[in-house]
Structure 1
């Protein structure tokens, strides 16, 4: 096992962390177990500085609470330092090409985390950089969130393989990353969205191809009752994400039958766990009774952003 872990550790060094589909099941499992180990070290007050003297540049073109705090605290706890870089200060892709920016930052930094809108920016940045690039969120993908979610499920359920996750709501970046990871890790996934709000068709097809290797299943449909039946995990997200505020009223009408409430969760397994990536709008996508109930693990998820991201940074930047 030690030899296998050493091989996995070597395979991750210097890699970019852009989408979960880029990693094998074993590599994802290694990152989850590393995150759990780093969490134990932090809780025990153990000093662990594999990134001593290293600097992470953190580019934010989208504002954030959890992403900024967890990355900045995480790199500090690993012995390095984080440098906040506002999108307005960098003029990324406007005053200077993304390629040139990537080349310059690679001369100063040891890693880059970027949280932005267009996924192509992250891809272009990674192509131009000679240091690891981490996707902190794009409109297409949110791999750091998904890795933390799988860590949280593993801690509560003791396994991932064979579990069923039901996602009710918008077919957005979070569900894209959950789909990719679930297919790799052997979890069954069922998604219910209103018509016109389905997940990206290419990602659905890519995910279906990966389910053939892991033995998992993927359901994408429109009926939340079908999706949630016998689910081990229930997951939802806001109906209108950042940048979609103008669509709020329209989306409220479209998603009216997709609220996760006491009646709907009765169709899941009795020991289901409820998850939400936050921020949440209580009374919209989920009722207070569910999100603040005994089976909600939303704050464990939020905490694990710190530990999962520390695992990513330690694995690819050390």
Structure 2
């Protein structure tokens, strides 16, 4: 039996594995074929809504030759009071990999206490690691590299921004400029971890709460303002967020940059239709890359990511 691995946070990956997963995602996107999970069983448990991530991992598992079991939020006995520990003990005796989306990050880690199945965090309230891997794969495909890229992130310092900060800063010479509304920045615990990565790789990270003096960048990135499973702690949050709406005037301040969005998008709220549907947008390519990078994640967690060259 191959060694099973967990991906709960990007910090569960060392630099070598992080870079290999991104390269493998590009390989899959370029038409690479693999049945590395033939005869494995992959279970997918989403306790919150999902379109891209659930479809990407489900389709990816099938494409890799796995059998698939899917659970809705109310399908398991967790809904009647069974503990996560007991549920994990049962599932780990029947499936090889478990892809979990749960707002409660500790719940995902409880599933990962089993060493008989690999567990993938498909988004928790704190971090969205597989989104960052899709983002890095998108950048690599678009620019032919991640190293040295400059990214401006505008909007809430949510789980996507947290994961991006942990991922991009591990590539040499990159820049990540976070511009978040006052009171809605990336949590300091993630900033501290990302700064350690940046120091080791020679990357640059900064977070500010205004849009003055924007740097020249290769990528402008935003996410929707109402993250799945989250609520806002202040009643006036829309007033705080309004200056961070991404419109064509803001894009014009970053000439030549492409636009990324993790979707779903609310046109007219965090981004205008002119930008999302405009020529600089690669948001839907980014969504597709979740499928490609997801296959690389499944291979890694199954202990079947092959050695390079592929």
TM-score normalised by structure 1 residue count: 0.89
Aligned residues: 301
Summarize the alignment of residues 145-164 of structure 1 with structure 2, pairs less than 5 Å apart. Answer: 145-164=131-150
Aligned to 1:300: 285
Aligned to 1:291: 276
Query: How far apart, in 1, do the equivalents of 2:273 and 2:63 lie?
Result: 34
**Greater share of helix:** 1
Work out which of the residue numbers 201, 207, 217 in structure 1 matches 2:188. Answer: 201
Q: Which runs of 5+ in 2 are unaligned?
A: 305-310
Contact 2:48/2:229 (8 A) holds in 1? no
Aligned to 1:267: 253
Query: How far apart, in 1, do the equivalents of 2:270 and 2:37 lie?
Result: 40
Work out which of the residue numbers 207, 212, 226 in structure 2 matches 1:240. Answer: 226
Cα deviation digits, residues 180-229 of structure 1 (max 9, x gap): 00111232101111111111111111111111100001111111234x42
Cα deviation digits, residues 122-181 of structure 1 (max 9, x gap): 111101352110000100111111101111111111111111111100010000000000
Aligned to 2:307: none
Superposed CA RMSD in Å reads 1.9
Contact 2:56/2:294 (8 A) holds in 1? yes
Contact 1:169/1:236 (8 A) holds in 2? yes
Query: How far apart, in 2, do the equivalents of 1:156 and 1:273 lie?
Result: 9
The CA deviation at 1:102 is: 1.2
Work out which of the residue numbers 15, 27, 31 in structure 2 matches 1:41. Answer: 31
Work out which of the residue numbers 191, 194, 197 in structure 1 matches 2:178. Answer: 191
Bigger CA drift: 94-103 or 291-300? 94-103
The CA deviation at 1:246 is: 7.5
Q: 1:19 to 1:95 in 2, by over 3 A?
A: same
What SS does the corresponding residue of 2:183 show, helix, strand or coil? Answer: coil
The CA deviation at 1:87 is: 2.6
Work out which of the residue numbers 207, 218, 223 in structure 1 matches 2:210. Answer: 223
Query: How far apart, in 2, do the equivalents of 1:207 and 1:244 lie?
Result: 23
Query: How far apart, in 2, do the equivalents of 1:250 and 1:280 lie?
Result: 21
Aligned to 2:71: 85
Contact 2:258/2:281 (8 A) holds in 1? yes
Higher relative contact order (CA 8 A, sep 6+): 2
Query: How far apart, in 1, do the equivalents of 2:3 and 2:294 lie?
Result: 15
Bigger CA drift: 247-256 or 148-157? 247-256
Query: How far apart, in 1, do the equivalents of 2:208 and 2:232 lie?
Result: 26
Q: Which runs of 5+ in 1 are unaligned?
A: 1-11
Aligned to 2:308: none
Query: How far apart, in 2, do the equivalents of 1:247 and 1:238 lie?
Result: 16
TM-score normalised by structure 2 residue count: 0.92
Q: 1:188 to 1:284 in 2, by over 3 A?
A: same
